[in-house]
Amino acid sequence: MTVRKLIIGLALCASLVMAAPAGARPPKDFFGVVSEDVLAGDAAYRDATLAQQSSIGVGLIRQTFHWNQIETSRGHYDWSAYDAYMAATASHGIRVLPILFDPPPFRAKTSKKTSGTYPPRHYRDLGTFGGAVAGRYGPHGSFWTQNPAVPKLPITAYQVWNEPNLKAYWPTGPNPKQYAKLLNAAGKGIRRADPHAQIVTAGMPDSRLSRPHNVFSYVAAMLHAHAKFNTLAVNPYGTSSGQILSKLRRFRSILNRGHQRRAGMWVTEFGWSDKGPRSPFRLGAKGQAKQIARTIPALAKQRRHLRLRGLVYYSWHDGAPYAPTFKDFWGLHTGLLRLNGTAKPAFAAFKRAIQKAH
């Protein structure tokens, strides 16, 4: 190539970069929520809630696809609950990010000594399950051909497991090398059904419970173990928008140093509580609304620089304490709506922040 041609080529590239709209609006599915109540609710509740979510700009729900409820016996899948769910979300124009999680007892490796959600005994089994989900709800899924009246809004991205850097979800002790093996096995199985599927890592929380690795060393070790994915999912809870942005920049730096510059990032959980047990993330009703109003625009503004795929708020609705302990904690009070369904100040702040970003 001559020097003249090289200069012309560089100038053309520069003009294309400058022509790219730096302030381009994010796609609708950039803004999402965790909303377990939609799956759990009856048809009337589901329809009303999805209509409300869509009306304020929610374009995505991050939803656990409970493996143990779907694969009821070896190789037999009961899609009935999720068929109704996918029909409803698609009808309201809301995309679904499934979390492939919670294996049935005949697939899991368990122990009476340690409680928690164990990964499958054979990692390839998660890939088989993920492939079945893709075969049902992916772009060429049987669900869409069997239900032509439903607007086609297929699943295109799959989140593999949940928070594996916490012992609750990797009871033998967080192990980035083993998680990388699970991620790669799952991705391989999913892409047999959909070669263009986007593989998303489990959400990685920055938590004091992440031992012996902190979340940043865990991700670095996962990359060193040759984890294959399109998007790194992170759950960067923080006391402020500045703290969350600082964490995201650190994750971006780890990806870049780990030869993953093209990988995206997805904030699959962030949020604050208005009440509940004491926590750095319990801010009161006004504080919760204030941080939502600040954080969503701040992260959306950095979308291109950080290669952010989306933001998922945790959560749409307050939750009740879980069985068997029924112990309260701050994470049950992060909802935009109270347990009785009434809106908190956070709801209006969330709505305004999304509409402003769009």
Read off the pLDDT of residues 10-55 as tens digits, 9 standing for 90 and up. Answer: 333 333 333 334 458 899 999 999 999 999 999 999 999 999 999 9
Query: Using CB atoms within 10 A of its CB, is residue 322 exposed (0-12), middle (13-18) or buried (19+)?
Result: exposed
Least confident window among 19-23, 130-134, 181-185, 296-300:
19-23
Report pLDDT for 18.
31
- Superfamily holding 25-357: Glycosidases (3.20.20.80)
Indicate the domain borders of the chain: 25-357
Average pLDDT over residues 276-288: 97
* Residue 75 Rama label (left phi>0; alpha psi -120 to 50; beta): left
Report pLDDT for 210.
76
- Tens of pLDDT, residue by residue over 141-164, are 999 999 999 999 999 999 999 999
Distance CA 243, CA 238 (A): 6
Report pLDDT for 11.
37
pLDDT over 70 (residue 2): no
Position 120 confidence tier, pLDDT thresholds 50, 70, 90: very high
Average pLDDT over residues 57-79: 98
Is the model more confident about 202 or about 320? 202
Which H, E and C letters describe the chain, residue by residue? Answer: CCHHHHHHHHHHHHHHHHHCCCCCCCCHHHEEEECHHHHHCCHHHHHHHHHHHHHCCCCEEEEEEEHHHHEEECCEECCHHHHHHHHHHHHCCCEEEEEEECCCCCCECCCCCCCCCCCECCCHHHHHHHHHHHHHHCCCCHHHHHCCCCCCCCCCEEEECCCCCCHHHCCCCCCHHHHHHHHHHHHHHHHHHCCCCEEEECCEECCCCCCCCCHHHHHHHHHHCCCCCCEEEEECCCCCHHHHHHHHHHHHHHHHHCCCCCCEEEEEEECCECCCCCCCCECHHHHHHHHHHHHHHHHHHCHHHHCEEEEEECCCECCCCCCCCCCCCHHHHCCCECCCCCECHHHHHHHHHHHHHC
pLDDT over 80 (residue 211): no
- Tens of pLDDT, residue by residue over 296-340, are 999 999 999 999 999 999 999 999 988 777 799 999 999 999 999
Report pLDDT for 325.
77
Q: What percent of the chain has pLDDT over 90?
A: 85
Report pLDDT for 23.
57
- Tens of pLDDT, residue by residue over 75-111, are 999 999 999 999 999 999 999 999 999 999 999 987 7
The number of residues making up the chain comes to 358
pLDDT over 80 (residue 7): no
Residue 240 CB neighbour total at 10 angstroms: 15
Report pLDDT for 195.
98
Residues 6+ apart with CB under 8 A from 318: 332, 333, 334, 335, 337, 338, 339
Average pLDDT over residues 205-211: 84
Average pLDDT, the chain: 92
